[in-house]
Amino acid sequence: MSEPVSGNHNDLFDIEVHFKEVTATLECSDICVDGLFLNADAGFDSQKLRDTCEAKRIIANFAENKRNSNSDNRDYFDQKLYLERYSIEITNA
């Protein structure tokens, strides 16, 4: 988890900072992030976050953001894995 952000920001507000905070927490706990996947809805589909994931060798499984569409963003998308996102979100709600 990262530090809370006020509700008047979108999902991508300072995403690089928050994502690095989350991955640093994992790494400090001796959890290797190389090869993990990030399963996220279209609100997180951005080139900045994809680049940040790639730098950490994390697989970005994001639903396509129609407003931010780029054919390169669809290099990897596992629909079955993505559908599991909902059950995980409900469990954590």
Could you give phi then psi for residue 62, rounded to 5 degrees? -110, 140
CA 63 to chain centroid, in Å, comes to 10
Specify the pLDDT at position 91: 79
Higher pLDDT, 86 or 20: 20
Express each pLDDT in 26-85 by its tens digit.
999 999 999 998 888 888 888 889 999 999 999 999 888 887 666 565 567 888 888 888
pLDDT reported for residue 12: 84
Residue 55: what pLDDT? 93
